Amino acid sequence: MDVLAHFRKARNAVTMPRGAVLFAEGEAGSHMYVLLWGRAEISVGGETLESAGPGALLGEMALVSSAPRSATVVAGTECKLVSVDVQQFDLLARESPEFARHVMTVMADRLRRTNERLREALGELAVHGRRPR
């Protein structure tokens, strides 16, 4: 799905300055964001894990699960974003199964990258003679 093409003409797009916090780890979330342009830094526990660019979905887990935000997202550059609330998300998912699959693909890809980082960290622990609990 071409997320940028779908959201490019959205009337509710906002521009965020560099350094603005879109949302913080531990907060409740009711919106996800589509990054139209700029870069956003995704971090967990103060460690930057990913730099997201145009077309990225940010905060999508908040619309799928009621758990607190699992990451912090900060505008790495000036960014233009479209906010999507639960009602809009549900409508998009109903009207476009392709959109729903895209969201699931984004989440699955992030989980795979997280698993790979975990594997690497466990390998480092093993090299240093430490065993995970």
Q: pLDDT tens track of the chain, all 133 residues? A: 899 999 999 999 999 999 999 999 999 999 999 999 999 999 999 999 999 999 999 999 999 998 999 999 999 999 999 999 999 999 999 999 999 999 999 999 989 988 998 899 898 888 877 765 6
CATH number of the domain residue 102 falls in: 2.60.120.10
Q: Which domain holds residue 61?
A: 3-127
Q: Is residue 49 part of a domain?
A: yes
Q: Is residue 92 part of a domain?
A: yes
Q: Which residue in 115, 106, 73, 24 sits closest to 98, CA to CA?
A: 106
pTM of the model: 0.86
Q: Is residue 61 part of a domain?
A: yes
| Backbone phi, psi, residue 35, to 5° | -85, 115
* Tokens 């430490």, located at residue: 130
Distance from C-alpha of 33 to C-alpha of 93, rounded to nearest angstrom: 15
Q: Is residue 20 part of a domain?
A: yes
Q: Is residue 132 part of a domain?
A: no
Q: Is residue 118 part of a domain?
A: yes
Q: Is residue 34 part of a domain?
A: yes
Q: What is the pLDDT of residue 131?
A: 62
Q: Is residue 133 part of a domain?
A: no
Q: Which residue in 36, 96, 101, 23 sits closest to 62, CA to CA?
A: 23
Number of domains in the chain: 1
